[in-house]
Structure 1
Amino acid sequence: MAVTHLKGEEVKLTGNEVNVSDVAPIVKIVGQDLSEIEVGGEKGCAQVVVTVPSLDTPVCAAEARKFNEEATKLEDVEVIVVSMDLPFAMGRFCTTEGIESLKVGSDFRSKELSKAYGVLIEDGVLAGIAARAVFVIDASGVITYKEICNEITEEPNYEAALEAAKDATNTSCCGTCQ
């Protein structure tokens, strides 16, 4: 069980901790149009899976905007931002913020992704939502980069995550990523 911080206070994370070189669990989340989105596993392209507490916070919104901007520069990479927000709220956020280069998904129904990747906050005022984290998964479905932000209110190391995403594309692409 990992530990992270919310404004200096420790919070415990629960779920199955995954690490670099593990096969990324395949899970389903809910898209902003209520469709099912599959995350993890072998997709034939690299995936950047970004978990955030809620898009309705300044830090999470800034993070989504940054990954949206950077996603346009990545080839053969699918970027997915996952929160516990309702799909309708995610849709409003994407429309308002002009988010078009990445996917957004919600883990609100079963918290399947948060549990499978070990980022579900177990206690404290944010119990039941996802911690801020970034996972890069290569085309064969192996986790090549992991960052769980030590302080939930701080943004991740974009440079390291994006470099890992570029490195994860060193495989042939099947053309299924957007």
Structure 2
Amino acid sequence: MASITLGGNPANTVGNLPSVNSQAPAFKLTKSDMSTKTLSDYQGSKVVLNIFPSVDTGTCAQSVRQFNEEAAELNSVKVLCISKDLPFAQNRFCGAEGIENVEMLSDYKTGSFGQDYGLAFADSAFESLLSRCVVVLDEGGKVIYTEQVQETGDEPNYKAALEALMDA
């Protein structure tokens, strides 16, 4: 269990992020067109998992914008923006913002992604939502970088995540 904060108040997650050098847990998430995507669909590409509570908050929206901008410069890298938002809300956001370089995925059906990756809130006003994290995977699905933002309202360290991609 990780201890983080939400608006300065203590909050906990259901577990801990996968460790660096471990194999990323398999996942099954929903795309904005309601189709299913799995981790194996990204085999052969480096992957950035940009994980957050809801695209309808300022910091979450900014992380999608920032990774969208950065992803335009990256070759053979997939940036997956993951929340429990309904795919309709994710689609609406991307359309309004002109987001084209990231893939939005939702954990709304089962919540198993948040459980399996140990990053769902266990308590607080955000209980069961996904905490703000970045997990970077190599082409074989091995974890090469993780960050769980200590204060949920803060942005992740984009530079460190992108440097992990270049070092892999």
Aligned length: 168
Question: In the alignment, does 2:54 pair up with 1:54?
Answer: yes
**Equivalent AA in structure 1 for residue 78 of structure 2:** E
The two structures, once aligned, show a CA RMSD in angstroms of 1.4
What corresponds to 1:37 in structure 2? 37
Unaligned runs of 5+ in 1: 169-178
Amino acid at match of 1:152: T
For 1:138, the equivalent position in structure 2 comes to 138
Question: Taking every aligned residue pair, what percent have the same amino acid on both sides?
Answer: 39
Question: Normalization by structure 2: what TM-score?
Answer: 0.96
**CA gap 1:100/1:41 in 2 versus in 1, 3 angstroms:** closer
1-structure distance, mates of 2:40, 2:66? 22
Deviations 1:47-102 (A, max 9, x none): 00011100001110111000000001111111000011001011000100111001
Inter-partner Cα distance in structure 1 for 2:81 and 2:10: 24
Matches of 2:16 and 2:43, distance apart in 1: 21
Displacement of 1:41 in angstroms is: 8.7
3-state secondary structure, aligned to 1:140 = coil
Instruction: Give distance in 2, aligned partners of 1:125 and 1:90.
Output: 21
Residue in 1 aligned with 2:113?
Answer: 113
Using the size of structure 1 for normalisation, the TM-score is: 0.90
Residue in structure 2 matched with residue 84 of structure 1 by the alignment? 84
Query: In 2 relative to 1, CA 23–156 (structure 1 residues): closer, same or farther, beyond 3 Å?
Result: same
Gaps of 5+ in 2: none
Q: Which residue of 2 aligns with 1:155?
A: 155
Quote the Cα distance in structure 2 between the aligned partners of 1:75 and 1:41: 17
Q: Is contact 1:52-1:132 (8 Å) kept?
A: yes
